[in-house]
Amino acid sequence: METPLLPVLLATSLVASLLYSWMGVAFSLTMIVLVTLIGLDANTMMPSILAAQLTSALATSAHRTRSEQRGRRDAHSIALLTLGSLTAFTAAMFLGVGLRSETRVMASGLLLVASGFSLALLSLTKRSCKGNPRGGEALISVASGVAGGLVKGVVGAGITPVMIALQSLSCRDFGTIVYRTVFSELAILAATLIPYAASFGLEPEATLTAVSGSLLGSAGGAWLGLGKRKSSTRSMLLSGALMLLLGLLGLRFLT
């Protein structure tokens, strides 16, 4: 990678990590769109992006676990969500690594737009929950993990909004959903990284820069107190709006 692009990549990863740890905004989708905008190849950057997201997920999970009270129900749901790691590895091995860079970028932009609309609509119906979680949470967790893992494996991105949108059907508060999603992504990200790194290789400078940016973004979110719980409706609406904006930006300038 050209040295002048490294500071830009650092800033890009920092922003993506900050939004990810703050509002659960899709890390890899955001990174794919932004790195392509600065002139980098999406496929070449995939291992670095996945390594950076894994780092951000570790830091965000540690911060949220320490700062928020979490119970056995969270651990159970996280275990069920993690089943998606097998789906992610299989999809990445047989489909994801063969995806053309242009197709991956287009899919990322469309997923951001679709996720933004979905979360915005779900936030408007959140009041019908009246603060009471619905039944069938175990089934919702399994479906969320498998669907998110499939999208992650094929596109290399999109797991966060897919899992958040599906888990929202359980009527859990947004903070709990984001926590469970980020924590369960650790195994799924590791499973996805293996075939992508084997296929495209890990570029040391780019990976170190992206990982550094993700650490700074996660630390910034924790320091600012952005990871604390907020109104579920408002948080989902803001997260959806940010993804919609990023998706439209990508589709506007990359197609």
pLDDT (tens digit per residue) in 14-33:
999 988 887 778 899 999 99
Residue 213 has, within 13 A of its CA and on its CB side, a CA count of: 28
For the segment 129-147, what is each residue's pLDDT rounded down to a tens digit? 655 566 678 888 888 988 8
CB 158 within 8 A of CB 26: yes
Is residue 227 scored above 50 in pLDDT? no
**Which pTM does this prediction carry?**
0.87
Return the structure tokens found at 67.
């700062």
Total domain count, the chain = 1
The rounded mean pLDDT for the chain is 83
The helix/strand/coil state of 95 is coil
pLDDT (mean) for 163-169: 86
Question: Rounded distance, CA 64 to CA 88, Å?
Answer: 24
Strands (E), 102-255: none
Return the structure tokens found at 135.
């039944």
CB 110 within 8 A of CB 151: no
Is residue 208 scored above 60 in pLDDT? yes
Q: What is the pLDDT of residue 54?
A: 94
Domain with 91 in it: 3-254
Around Cβ 212, how many Cβ atoms within 10 Å?
17
Supply the Cα-derived Rg of the chain in whole angstroms.
Answer: 17
End-to-end CA distance of the chain: 24
CB 111 within 8 A of CB 158: yes
- Helix 42-67 / helix 6-23 crossing angle, nearest 10 deg: 40
pLDDT (mean) for 220-245: 69
Question: Rounded distance, CA 20 to CA 195, Å?
Answer: 24
Question: Rounded distance, CA 32 to CA 106, Å?
Answer: 10
Question: Rounded distance, CA 164 to CA 149, Å?
Answer: 13
